[in-house]
């Protein structure tokens, strides 16, 4: 990708993203590297147009006499190896990067100074020149070096990306001064019991959040006054600090990147344009919500800035477990006890459902833990008319004590079963289980006998 010197400066002056990540801008008399960031930009500054510095830069290159010793800048000894120098440089870059150090007004200058020192000391050839001739040895061609002086910049910016993340280098471009900004989102949680989650409900949420100041209508300025354009950055919201090879674009320290100054702040919001107020929001919770869901109430969050839209209100759902119903997505599960007589003879049992009591038919010969499905008796699917099922687990209860009459009847039942077994007409699995055991033992014996014969044949051979 080629850019003329004029194109390079114009793109930077317009505060538009130049290139994604640090890449070589070719086609220039002196090669230059450029990168973009959210609120801070680092780019090369070759003075190419007949030696004339372009307008829009608020500082000039530092002369050799004013420059500090590069070893002192990084805080390393002259016999330090490259790894030690690199480690120290990364520490200083992270400490003084203007995006992470907004309190120190000299952070941008120290950041550029440390970067310039690393560019020299991190290059073996240039470090040797610097050790021999000082700053004059590496400031050829008017202090900007030749094309070889820029080798290794990808490593520098790659290090920045690892320290500050994608958002700082190569992420979205910086938001312009006074552009509309979306308001912050608000997150609240609500506790529901099982039936409220299944059938839906309405809740009033009491929250305290920022709202647009009614006194100044969100401007932050005292009524009758208005914001003034920042004189330090001329309303651009940024400053450009230049040193050596680099120029660093950073948010204006006077207006903090807004591009304007409030000389007479509103007495109600103290210039913020917003005030905290309690308010009540009615939330209609639909049928079928489940644990962990997040409902979004559009534009119910905090107000935007400079005419931007409001944020959203998110309502997190916490559902308390029910002692009887168990939920799996849109199906509900219940356990229903039945007697031995009901299991054998069949019958009916009344079971509770989400919509009321329902009589359920029990088939003859029901086995323990049989599950019957009641279609359409489950939970309504969210934003749909479909419903799940209710699954009924039939638990056959064996009595621990019998009345005399029950004891007599059970003995008669057992006697009848024995006679059917002898006749071979019993369909009770317990009667056929004995034969199953006998057949299994025979198969084990045959296996062991065959294994013994095989071992004897191997010994004989």
User: What's the pLDDT score for residue 430?
Assistant: 55
Is residue 388 scored above 80 in pLDDT?
yes
Within 10 angstroms of residue 263's Cβ, the number of other Cβ atoms is 12
**Nearest-10 crossing angle of helices 429-460, 404-423:** 50
The encoded tokens of residue 265 equal 């702040």
**How many percent of the chain have pLDDT more than 70?**
68
102-131 pLDDT, tens digit each: 788 888 888 888 899 898 999 988 888 888
Is pLDDT larger for residue 160 or for residue 282?
Answer: 282
Given pLDDT bands bounded at 50, 70 and 90, which one contains residue 144? very low
Mean pLDDT of the region 139-152: 45
Min mean pLDDT across 201-210, 375-384, 414-423 is at 414-423
Is pLDDT larger for residue 29 or for residue 275?
Answer: 275
DSSP 265: B
Mean pLDDT of the region 155-167: 46
User: What's the pLDDT score for residue 239?
Assistant: 84
172-231 pLDDT, tens digit each: 344 455 678 899 999 999 999 999 999 999 999 999 999 989 999 888 999 999 989 998
Among residues 167, 173, 80, 166, the alpha carbon closest in space to that of 118 is found at 80
Is pLDDT larger for residue 365 or for residue 158?
Answer: 365
Q: Which CATH superfamily is domain 5-164 in?
A: DnaJ domain (1.10.287.110)
Could you state, in order of their start, the residue ranges of all structural domains in the chain? 5-164, 186-227+262-319, 326-397, 404-453
Min mean pLDDT across 87-96, 299-308, 426-435 is at 426-435
**Could you write out the DSSP letters of every residue in 28-83?**
SSS-EEE---SS-EEEE----STTPPPTT--S-PPPTTTPPPHHHHHT--TT--HH
Mean pLDDT of the region 155-173: 44
Separation between Cα atoms, residue 394 and residue 76, nearest integer Å? 78
Mean pLDDT of the region 256-261: 86
- CATH code of the region 186-227+262-319: 2.60.260.20
Say yes or no: do domains 5-164 and 326-397 share a fold. Answer: no
Topology classification of domain 326-397:
HSP40/DNAj peptide-binding domain (2.60.260)
Which phi and psi angles does 87 have, rounded to 5°? -60, -45
Residues 289, 297 contacting (CB under 8 angstroms) = no
Is residue 446 scored above 80 in pLDDT?
no
Residues 37, 12 contacting (CB under 8 angstroms) = no
Give the chain's mean pLDDT. 76
Mean pLDDT of the region 283-299: 94
How distant, in Å, are the alpha carbons of 169, 226, 235 from that of 95?
16, 37, 28
Mean pLDDT of the region 48-77: 58
User: What's the pLDDT score for residue 13?
Assistant: 33
Is residue 275 scored above 50 in pLDDT?
yes
Is pLDDT larger for residue 27 or for residue 220?
Answer: 220
Max avg pLDDT among 4-13, 179-188, 445-454: 179-188
Residues 139, 243 contacting (CB under 8 angstroms) = no
């Amino acid at each position: 990708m080629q850019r003329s010197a004029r194109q390079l400066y114009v793109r930077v002056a317009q505060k538009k993203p130049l290139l994604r990540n640090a890449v070589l801008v070719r086609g220039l008399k002196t090669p230059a590297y450029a990168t973009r960031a959210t609120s801070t930009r680092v780019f090369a500054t070759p003075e190419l147009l007949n030696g004339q510095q372009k307008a829009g830069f608020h500082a000039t290159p530092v002369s050799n006499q004013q420059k500090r010793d590069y070893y002192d800048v990084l805080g390393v000894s002259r016999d330090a190896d490259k790894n030690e120098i690199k480690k120290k440089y990364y520490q200083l870059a992270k400490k003084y990067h203007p995006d992470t150090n907004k309190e120190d007004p000299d952070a941008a200058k120290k950041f550029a100074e440390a970067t310039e020192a690393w560019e020299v000391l991190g290059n073996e050839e240039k470090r040797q020149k610097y050790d021999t001739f000082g700053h004059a040895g590496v400031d050829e061609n008017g202090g900007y070096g030749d094309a070889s002086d820029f080798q290794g910049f990808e490593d520098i910016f790659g290090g920045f990306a690892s320290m500050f993340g994608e958002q700082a280098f190569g992420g979205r471009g910086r938001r312009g001064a006074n552009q509309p900004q979306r308001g912050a989102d608000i997150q609240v949680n609500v506790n529901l019991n099982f039936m409220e989650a299944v059938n839906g409900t309405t809740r009033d949420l009491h929250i305290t959040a920022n709202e647009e100041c009614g006194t100044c209508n969100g401007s932050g300025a005292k009524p009758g006054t208005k914001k003034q354009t920042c004189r330090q950055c001329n309303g651009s919201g940024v400053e450009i600090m230049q040193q050596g090879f680099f120029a660093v674009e950073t948010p204006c320290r006077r207006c903090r990147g807004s591009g304007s100054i409030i000389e007479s702040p509103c007495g109600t919001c103290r210039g913020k344009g917003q005030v905290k107020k309690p308010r009540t929001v009615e939330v209609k919770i639909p049928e079928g919500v489940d644990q962990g869901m997040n409902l979004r109430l559009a534009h119910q969050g905090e107000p935007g800035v400079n005419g931007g839209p409001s944020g959203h209100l998110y309502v997190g759902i916490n559902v308390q477990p029910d002692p009887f119903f168990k939920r799996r997505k849109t199906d509900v599960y219940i356990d229903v006890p039945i007697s031995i007589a009901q299991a054998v003879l069949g019958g009916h049992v009344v079971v509770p459902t989400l919509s009321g009591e329902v009589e359920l038919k029990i088939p003859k010969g029901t086995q323990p833990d049989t599950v019957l499905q009641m279609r359409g008796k489950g939970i309504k699917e969210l934003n749909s008319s479909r419903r799940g099922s209710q699954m009924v687990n039939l638990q056959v209860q064996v009595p621990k004590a019998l009345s005399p009459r029950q004891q007599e009847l059970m003995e008669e039942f057992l006697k009848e079963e024995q006679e059917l077994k002898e006749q071979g007409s019993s369909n009770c699995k317990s009667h056929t289980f004995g034969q199953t055991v006998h057949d299994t033992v025979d198969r084990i014996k045959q296996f062991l006998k065959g294994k013994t014969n095989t071992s004897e044949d191997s010994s004989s051979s």
